Amino acid sequence: MDTRGIIKASGFLILTTISIPANLIVCCAFLHNRFTEAKLLTADIILCNLAFTNLMVAFIRSIPQTLAGLGYLHLFDDDGCKITIFCFRVFRGLSISLTCLLCVYQAVAISPVTSLLAPLKTRIPQYLLYIVVFLYLLYCSMSVMTAVNTVSSLINNTIPPYTYNLEYCFVIYKDYYSYILVGFGVMCRDLVFIMLMTIMSGYILRLLYQHGQKVKNIRSSDRSQKERRAETKASKAVVTLVILYVVFFGIDNIIWLYTITISKVSVLISDIRIFFATLYTSVCPIVVITTNPKIKGKLKLIKLKKEVQPTENSTCTQ
């Protein structure tokens, strides 16, 4: 293996070993809550779907990229490549849209009753299932054309111009205009969500600042203070996720804008872009695990059970 292959395999292996266990923890924690408490909050449902989406991206993109870095390039046939690219496009789109939905809901949840967003406090939970199903169908319909243009191997191993090269799969665009149109379409679609997330994050920060100013002058009950602290922590966590996504989105699309200026993109440039496009799948669950009280409570309970079991076993053997 060359140096690039070693670095590529190491980088994506790190992403994989973080992303898969972390997202599984988030999914399992919320599913356990669902079966034990028979109810999940709206934000928990969105986070569970987001963790599942990130988990799928890790399986579909991080693992193949790790194997490709190790030199295993013939991973799929044409149909396998089409399915892989289709699923990645769907789940990548869901990742940003669910993050946006989480941000919007958090802004709505902490907004005052006099706010224009107040009617959404009941509407979003009521129509959440329909919103999520609509997003799945939307991205499935938008990902078909890219999947159709995907192949597993090239004629004479010659990479034609305007090809998205993953080494184990190739997305071939027939001309420059098709390449530009698809790329700008995806970027503009994501930019809409980015702008909405940015606006809502700004609104959340403004509400948190206003609340902080009021707390200095007004002494509230312990219960209301605890509720406010929980809302504040959740809001800060959502804003953190938005900031991270905006940073990764920016790097991803700056690289893409560079690639449209050249006909053949080097594999190294593609590797860097793919790395940042999948980095969110590893960072997102870490933020959720470290900030969500329900998940932290589950992990503490598991830790306590593990500590108690050896003590009980040692007592029994005496």
Largest Cα separation within the chain, whole Å, is: 78
Helix and strand numbers, DSSP H then E, in the chain: 10, 3
Q: Which residue has the tokens 């909050």?
A: 41
pLDDT at 1: 62
pTM: 0.86
Cα–Cα distance measured from residue 213 to residue 174, given in angstroms and rounded to the nearest whole number: 58
What are 14's two structure tokens? 């790190």
Closest C-alpha among 81, 91, 87 to residue 54:
91
Report yes or no on 209 lying in a domain: yes
Cα–Cα distance measured from residue 12 to residue 63, given in angstroms and rounded to the nearest whole number: 7
Cα–Cα distance measured from residue 57 to residue 294, given in angstroms and rounded to the nearest whole number: 24
Torsion of CA 282, 197, 122, 218, to 10 degrees: 100
Residue 25 Cα to chain centre, angstroms:
15
Q: Is 150 helix (H, G, I), strand (E, B) or coil?
A: strand
Report yes or no on 262 lying in a domain: yes
287 neighbors 19 (Cβ within 8 angstroms): no
Domain CATH for 55: 1.20.1070.10
Which phi and psi (to 5°) does residue 172 adopt?
-105, 125
Range of the domain at 136: 3-293
Report yes or no on 266 lying in a domain: yes
Report yes or no on 9 lying in a domain: yes
Cα–Cα distance measured from residue 148 to residue 261, given in angstroms and rounded to the nearest whole number: 24
Q: Is 231 helix (H, G, I), strand (E, B) or coil?
A: helix
| Residues comprising the chain, all counted | 318
Report yes or no on 141 lying in a domain: yes
Cα–Cα distance measured from residue 47 to residue 27, given in angstroms and rounded to the nearest whole number: 8
Report yes or no on 133 lying in a domain: yes
What are 190's two structure tokens? 């994501």
Which phi and psi (to 5°) does residue 208 adopt?
-65, -40
Domain count, the chain: 1
Cα–Cα distance measured from residue 245 to residue 135, given in angstroms and rounded to the nearest whole number: 18
Which phi and psi (to 5°) does residue 242 adopt?
-65, -45
Q: Cite the DSSP H helix spans in 260-292.
A: 267-291
Report yes or no on 81 lying in a domain: yes
Q: How many CA atoms lie within 13 A of 279 on its CB side?
A: 18
Please report, in tens digits, the pLDDT of each residue of the chain (318 residues total): 678 888 888 999 999 999 999 999 999 888 888 888 767 888 889 999 999 999 999 999 999 999 988 888 888 999 999 999 999 999 999 999 999 999 999 999 888 888 888 888 889 999 999 999 999 999 999 888 888 889 988 877 777 878 888 888 888 888 888 888 888 888 888 889 989 999 999 988 888 878 776 666 555 555 555 556 667 777 888 888 889 888 888 888 888 788 777 767 777 888 888 888 888 889 999 988 888 888 877 777 777 777 666 655 555 555
121 neighbors 64 (Cβ within 8 angstroms): no
Q: Which residues pair with 150 in a beta bridge?
A: 171
11 neighbors 70 (Cβ within 8 angstroms): no
Cα–Cα distance measured from residue 118 to residue 190, given in angstroms and rounded to the nearest whole number: 26
Closest C-alpha among 300, 299, 310, 312 to residue 28:
299
Report yes or no on 303 lying in a domain: no
Q: What is the DSSP string of 74-143?
A: ----HHHHHHHHHHHHHHHHHHHHHHHHHHHHHHHHHS-TTSTTTTHHHHHHHHHHHHHHHHHHHHHHHS
pLDDT at 50: 93
